[in-house]
């Protein structure tokens, strides 16, 4: 009996901790910028969590190695993450088991935007390794992923078009002198910023994107399109020019929100014709379910109030508010390309009704099991009820080393030595300054990413 009690205590603690809390040592080191230590904690065991969290292991490891400049190794992990996402199939036995315990029992398949970010990092790693052909492969994969995302939802107001990824594709195509595909990508990006991002995330079209679109239209000889977009952007005086070389600088600011959980108490009410309704009057939530068979109805009749856990995002506020680059050519503002924080919140919100449905079905199944066992053995039934209560938990997994937001700037460079200063401004106080040196060849586009890991801790 003592051993059983110990098991219950373990279950209680395991049941309470979120994915972030379970891995807090790793995240503590990562947040503090001790990436070598974070890498050591992450270890080499890809079967962490019995393989259920493999996607996150690959993604975290790939991202850490990328920041450390170990691009080849990083890409080997990102490739594993990509293939994992490609081959991911729901294990329906594990899926069924989650309805008797909690969703953490099944393998984590990754959020839509997380799969796009795997390819984003991979493409950038290749570009930093000066392997543009390999980066183009990732570009084509991104295009397929975007198409899949676009086809995933038939109703509007869903996050199904990613303007940042379209822009990235344009930047990569442009760097390989494929101005035609760059133009198409930029035009698609402008459309998504205008039609989706302005409404969903309150974002505008970055000025650099407008310039890149006009440049590629001009370089392709698309004169009608050039005039159209000049008028559209009120940039009639803009005259496209080819720089000697250029630098595309991506700033990864802060950290993406982490998933925590929240619980709601529902009251079960029986209605006519085998319908039962789960109600939460305070929140105005009401979910009807139809039950078949006397057993199910009898078991659920006994339900009164029960707790259901759901996932929610907890923002980690950014430390730096804005950034600029300074070079001999002038000052360049780092413009917001993707608010990953808002994308994450939006993606979870858009499927919250599905999460409610799954959570309630899980609760109903657990209660049915408990009451069935209670009829045979009251003590055992009570124990099952207790286990059900402590194992009730939301899926709090997400790729937590991603940035809060991504901004960028394109800087013209001269052949040979170029010095660039990055100035990051916090809300209060002096800006942090970093100096970088670049040596591009004529006609070359260099890529640089800078990660500011400073951010607020999630509030529980």
Partner 1 sequence: MIRFVLFLFILVSCQTRSVTRVQPDATYDLSGRWNDADSRMVADQMINDLLQSSNFTEYAKQKGNKPAIVVGIIKNKTTEHIDASNYIKKIELAIYNSGTADIVESEEFRDKMRVERLQQQDFADPETVAEFGKEIGADLMLFGEMTSETDVFRSQKVVNYVTSLYLTDIETNKRIWFGQNEIKKVVRN
Q: Which is nearer to partner 1, 285 or 361 (CB)?
A: 361
Tally of residues, the chain? 460
Q: Which is nearer to partner 1, 282 or 292 (CB)?
A: 292
**CB of 111: closest distance to partner 1 in angstroms?**
22
99 binds partner 1 (CB under 8 A): yes
Q: Contact with partner 1 (CB under 8 A): which of 140, 152, 271, 375? A: 140
361 binds partner 1 (CB under 8 A): yes
Q: Which is nearer to partner 1, 154 or 435 (CB)?
A: 154
Interface of this chain with partner 1, residues 267 to 296, rule: CB under 8 A: 289-293, 296
Window contacting partner 1 (CB under 8 A); options: 48-56, 139-147, 241-249, 262-270: 139-147
Q: Which residues contact 201 (CB under 8 A, 6 or more apart)?
A: 339, 342, 343, 346
Interface of this chain with partner 1, residues 43 to 82, rule: CB under 8 A: none
Write the DSSP assignment of 64-107 as a string of letters.
Answer: HHHHTT-HHHHHHHHHHHHHHHHH----HHHHHHHTTS-GGGSP
| 154: helix, strand or coil | coil
Compute how many residues bind partner 1; rule: CB under 8 A. 34
165 binds partner 1 (CB under 8 A): no
Token readout for 325 is 């680059």
Q: Which is nearer to partner 1, 324 or 365 (CB)?
A: 365
Alpha helices in 248-351 (DSSP H): 294-301, 340-350
Question: How far apart are the C-alpha atoms of 371 and 134, rounded to whole Å?
Answer: 58
**CB of 421: closest distance to partner 1 in angstroms?**
36
C-alpha angle 53-59-65 in degrees, rounded to nearest 5? 135
Q: Contact with partner 1 (CB under 8 A): which of 45, 50, 133, 154? A: 154
Q: Which is nearer to partner 1, 79 or 95 (CB)?
A: 95
**CB of 149: closest distance to partner 1 in angstroms?**
12
Question: How far apart are the C-alpha atoms of 1 and 16, rounded to whole Å?
Answer: 23
**CB of 96: closest distance to partner 1 in angstroms?**
4
Write the DSSP assignment of 18-56 as a string of letters.
Answer: -HHHHTHHHHHHHHTT-HHHHHHHH-S-TTGGGGTTHHH
| 449: helix, strand or coil | strand
| 259: helix, strand or coil | strand
| 417: helix, strand or coil | coil
Q: Which of 339, 332, 386, 389 is CA-nearest to residue 363?
A: 389
Q: Which of 349, 333, 303 is CA-nearest to residue 411?
A: 333
301 binds partner 1 (CB under 8 A): no
Q: Which residues contact 56 (CB under 8 A, 6 or more apart)?
A: 108, 397, 398, 399
**CB of 291: closest distance to partner 1 in angstroms?**
5
225 binds partner 1 (CB under 8 A): yes
| 289: helix, strand or coil | strand
Q: Contact with partner 1 (CB under 8 A): which of 1, 3, 45, 93? A: 93
**CB of 97: closest distance to partner 1 in angstroms?**
9
Q: Which residues contact 344 (CB under 8 A, 6 or more apart)?
A: 111, 113, 256, 257, 313, 398
Question: How far apart are the C-alpha atoms of 265 and 275, rounded to whole Å?
Answer: 19
143 binds partner 1 (CB under 8 A): yes
Determine if residue 49 is left, alpha or beta; phi over 0 gives left, psi from -120 to 50 gives alpha, anything else beta.
left
Q: Contact with partner 1 (CB under 8 A): which of 32, 47, 147, 419? A: 147
Site pattern 318..357 for partner 1 (x: CB under 8 A): ----------------------------------------
Token readout for 197 is 């991002």
**CB of 282: closest distance to partner 1 in angstroms?**
27
**CB of 181: closest distance to partner 1 in angstroms?**
5
Q: Contact with partner 1 (CB under 8 A): which of 7, 9, 16, 96? A: 96
Q: Contact with partner 1 (CB under 8 A): which of 23, 246, 341, 368? A: 368
Q: Which is nearer to partner 1, 98 or 425 (CB)?
A: 98
Site pattern 176..215 for partner 1 (x: CB under 8 A): ----xx--xx-xx---------------------------
Residues of the shown chain interacting with partner 1 in the complex, contacts defined by CB under 8 A: 87, 89, 91-93, 95-96, 99, 140, 143, 147, 151, 154, 169, 180-181, 184-185, 187-188, 220-222, 225, 289-293, 296, 361, 364-365, 368
């Amino acid at each position: 009996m003592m051993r059983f009690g110990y098991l219950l205590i373990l279950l209680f603690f395991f049941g309470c901790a979120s994915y972030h809390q379970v891995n807090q040592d790793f995240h503590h080191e990562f947040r503090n910028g001790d990436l070598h230590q974070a890498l050591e904690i992450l270890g080499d065991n890809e079967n962490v969590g019995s393989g259920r969290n493999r996607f996150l292991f690959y993604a975290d490891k790939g991202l850490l190695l990328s920041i450390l400049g170990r691009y080849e190794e990083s890409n080997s992990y990102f490739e594993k993450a990509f293939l994992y996402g490609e081959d991911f199939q729901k294990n329906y036995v594990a899926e069924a088991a989650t309805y008797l315990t909690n969703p953490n029992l099944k393998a984590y398949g990754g959020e839509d935007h997380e799969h796009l970010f795997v390819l984003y990092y991979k493409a950038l790693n290749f570009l930093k390794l000066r392997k543009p052909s390999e980066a183009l492969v990732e570009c084509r994969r991104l295009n397929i992923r975007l198409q899949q995302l676009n086809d995933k939802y038939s109703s509007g107001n869903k996050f199904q078009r990613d303007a940042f990824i379209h822009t990235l594709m344009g930047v990569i195509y442009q760097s390989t002198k494929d101005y035609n595909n760059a133009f198409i990508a930029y035009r698609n990006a402008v459309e998504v910023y205008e039609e989706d991002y302005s409404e969903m995330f309150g974002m505008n079209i970055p000025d650099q994107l407008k310039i890149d679109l006009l440049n590629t239209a001009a370089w392709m000889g698309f004169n009608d399109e050039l005039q159209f977009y000049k008028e559209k952007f009120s940039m009639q005086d803009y005259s496209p020019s080819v720089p000697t070389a250029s630098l595309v600088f991506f700033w990864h600011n802060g950290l993406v929100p982490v998933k925590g959980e929240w619980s709601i108490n529902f009251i079960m009410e029986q209605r006519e014709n085998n319908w039962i309704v789960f109600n939460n009057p305070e929140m105005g939530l009401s979910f009807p379910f139809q039950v078949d068979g006397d057993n199910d109805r009898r078991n659920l009749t006994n339900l009164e109030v029960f707790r259901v856990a759901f996932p929610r995002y907890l923002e980690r506020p950014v430390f730096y508010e804005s950034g600029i680059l300074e070079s001999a050519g002038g000052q360049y503002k780092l413009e917001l390309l993707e608010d990953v924080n808002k994308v994450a919140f939006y993606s979870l919100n858009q499927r919250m009704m599905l999460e409610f449905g799954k959570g309630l079905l899980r609760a109903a199944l657990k209660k049915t099991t408990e009451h069935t066992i209670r009829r045979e053995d009251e003590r055992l039934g009570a124990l099952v009820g207790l286990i059900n209560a402590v194992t009730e938990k939301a899926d709090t997994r997400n790729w937590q080393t991603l940035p809060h937001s991504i901004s960028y700037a394109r800087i013209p460079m001269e052949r040979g030595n170029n010095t660039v200063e990055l100035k990051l401004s916090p809300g209060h106080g002096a800006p942090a300054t970093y100096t970088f040196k670049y040596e591009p060849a004529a006609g070359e586009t260099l890529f640089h990413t800078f990660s500011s890991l400073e951010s607020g801790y999630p509030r529980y």
